[in-house]
Structure 1
Amino acid sequence: MADPQAWIRSANVRAAWVGEVDGKIVGHVSVMRPQGEDAVSMWIERSGDDEEHVAVLARLFVLQEARQHALGAQLMRAATSWAQGQGIRLVLDVMAKDAAAIRLYQRLGWTKIGEATHPYGEGQLMDAICFAAPDA
């Protein structure tokens, strides 16, 4: 990635959190304004919510060496709690190949709301699964 700070500091970020271990930042998650994600349109169609009441959980990562600290779950809970306090439903798209992430979302009560195909590279496609956060 040419400019990781620009990627993290996008103008579409509504809120963000970092995870630390021993004073070192080792994880991150953002809540983003919708930008045409499949999960957003699926949730709006399913729930009748408008786009003002939906946001995307995005940019979730935890460094490999810090994954034993359950920071991914902590970051997701922080984002979900914030969104619920704002009256916002979080949704996300995850690549179908990311089995560990899917298990985490399911363990935290997220509900599968559909499937999509994401283009990438030069004409390649990747299957994705769309989830919505649990009710408050």
Structure 2
Amino acid sequence: MTSLDTLFEAAKAIQAKAYTPYSRFKVGAAIATPEGQIFTGCNVENAAYPVGSCAEAGAISAMIAGGGRRIGEIVVMGEGKHLVTPCGGCRQRIREFAAPDTKIHIAGPEGIRKRFTLDELLPFSFGPDNLTDR
């Protein structure tokens, strides 16, 4: 299993690579699979604002491309003094590959600021089980 320190450092390293010429607000995300693989992503902005992508979406894409299918835990690192939790769309993206008790660690440069489960961030969520239990 991957240590939380390793996951934190991976999120911090990828955050520095974010492409944010408009907001200047860098976000990094690091996913650990249950098997211990780590996948990272950073936010990528675009002059046509809706076309940008979130760090969590990038990390999930990297995980899928690398053969992973389950999120064991995730660290999301943002800047500033406020918690930078996944947006609504990314909460749903995480839900696709995570269990309700999956740990989502919210970090700043100084370390982990708060921990949530997916169920705390996205209660009563719609997911793959809703489509197979018909």
Higher RCO structure (Cα 8 Å, ≥6 apart):
1
TM-score by length of 2: 0.38
